Amino acid sequence: MNDNITYNHPNHDPKYVEYQPLYEKKLNQFLNFNGPYKNESLGKFMLYAKYQAVNKDDQAIINGSYYQVPYNKEDPVDPNNRPDWKPLIEKCNEENHWKNIYANQPFGPSWTTTWFKINIHIPKELLAKSNKQKWVFQFDCQNEGLVIVPKQSKNKTVYMPVTAFSGNNERIEYILNIKDYDFDFTHLFYIECGNNGMFGVGPSTIDPPSDNKWFHLQKCDLVLPDWEARGLYYDFMQCKDLAIRLPQESFFKHYIRKTCLEIMEIYDSNSRDSIVKCRDYFAKKLLPKLEDYNNVSDGDIDAEDKFNTMYAFGNCHIDLSWLWPFAETKRKVVRSWASQIQFIEQYPEFQFVISQAQSVKWLKDAHPEFFNKLLQHPNQFLIAGGSWVENDTNLPSGEGLSRQLFFGQRWFYKNFNKRICKTMWLPDSFGYSGALPQIGKLSQCSYFVTQKLSWNSINKFPYSTFFWQGIDGSEVLTHCPPADTYTSDCSVENILKVVRNGKSKDIEGGSLYLFGKGDGGGGPTEEQINKLRRMRQVNAKIGSEVPSISMNNKFFENVIKLNKGKHNIPSYIGELYLEIHRGTYTTQSVIKKFMRKSEILLTELEQLASYASLILPD
């Protein structure tokens, strides 16, 4: 034995370090439906049944056909490329223009229109096996589509939009309204598809358009989802992401992660019954079952965190003219809002904000029956902005800015049962003139919302909530949503950013959260709304680490109330300068030239209109 050998003393205080990626990887596997463990994941139970229109054996249950509208290759905005619904459908039916579809069928080229005719027939024997669960039509042609259902109204057929598709597995579902499961269910509807994506027809988001882009039929299926499995999918998705995104020092990070791992132990890939057990365990540990609206908090300000409340609004920013022609914008409006009406009827707490009187006028002129349907939901289909369009504020004259709000407010007042907009809404304009507060106040707007200042290239704007004082001393209460976007996706990461990124944490009242697909239209998705529901309930369990989420529309009123007026709220004086997109307009001399020409012509037109009003007062 070597007497020179010495031994270290035992370590009575070992430092344990978790191997974080190992846990995160394991949690992610549960929702990985395409990986090596797909047969062990939840994806195995997401559907009870699927019938495909492109499968001949299924065509007694679902049958699909198409009609390609003839198009003018030289003029993509030719109105004949986008014919009115009623005459086209009736002509195609009378003359039998419909042709059979097949898998991965190409449709195009760019800016053309393809129509689909879908016949669904579900025998009562099949319905009896579905236990009165909701059936869903899934459609993905990689382009934008609108579901149109013929309905009888006053002895005539009215073609009513009911929902929309955006392709690439994003918005692909139409929930069927089956009222009686004791009889066969039949349903005929049409899909108007514009052969363009949400961002036009470029190779990527903001590239110039391609004149020869084609789109391919990926899905035209009738499915019966396992709604319990889908509920577990949303439960696990948000809780998993909380376990990953909450800070390491958070007790609830480890509590939620432990709960998720326990759920994975309860789940049995050989037993569909285990899904119910998983959801029951989630309800016990973290989440009540949220399909019952009574379990979703009602947004009462007295029950919320005054500093950490997030007021969530669905919205759908639509650039009226960007990477697509005006003719396509008009169809984007219908597609976007049809989806939201479906969600308003499905989710009682959901609120959707629209702006731009011009876009609503397009909708009313083309589809008055659908416009009347919007008016039936005044507490959920909200108007904001007050302007004719979401306008630039740098190039127009003061008179031009005034007209934006004057004509916009007047149109909303006349067409929305004497409602006016209290909030100016310019989320994507390139900077804001110091004249705007005065013009806004004179137009009965006391509030202003934008997120664009978060795009500054150098200087961070100092406030989230503040009074914006114009050049004459007029003030409007202003808010910049701390998520720094008007297209939030309701992910855990995005919602936690609201808590961490707010620059006015000392001001009571919380913040706004604007969610939904935007720029090219779209609006909120079913997944986003369900994510938000889960986050509301998690807040009830773990408190301020996740913001409390309100679905009422009293944000600005509550800021004033809780801060006793404006004494505790900072002011910012003058122009809100945007440090990006500089020179976008001013370097384009042709735009400046036509701006000035339009101002001169409008002045002359007003003189003639004034004269006409004297001799023709009616």
Active site residues: 428
516: left (phi over 0), alpha (psi -120 to 50) or beta: left
Q: Which conformational region is residue 167 in: left (phi greater than 0), alpha (psi within -120 to 50 degrees), or beta?
A: left
β pairing state of 423-425 and 447-449: parallel
19-51: burial string, b at 16+ Cβ within 10 Å, e else: eeeebeeebeebeeeeeeeeebbbbebbbbebb
Answer yes or no: are the C-beta atoms of 229 and 46 closer than 8 Å. yes
Rounded-to-integer distance, Cα 40 and Cα 93, Å: 47
* Residue 45: both structure tokens together: 């139970």
Token digits of residue 94? 């009378």
The total of other beta-carbon atoms located within 10 Å of residue 109's CB is 17
Rounded to an integer, what distance in angstroms lies between the CA atom of residue 547 and that of residue 535?
A: 8
Q: Helices (H) and strands (E) in the chain — how many of each?
A: 15, 22
Quick one: which of 393, 345, 362, 368 has its CA closest to 575?
A: 393
Backbone angles phi, psi at 221, to 5 degrees: -125, 150
Which of 431, 569, 452 shows the shortest CA–CA distance to 507? 569
Distance, in Å, from the CA atom of 539 to the CA atom of 519, rounded to the nearest integer, reads 30
Dihedrals phi, psi of 184, to nearest 5 degrees: -55, 145
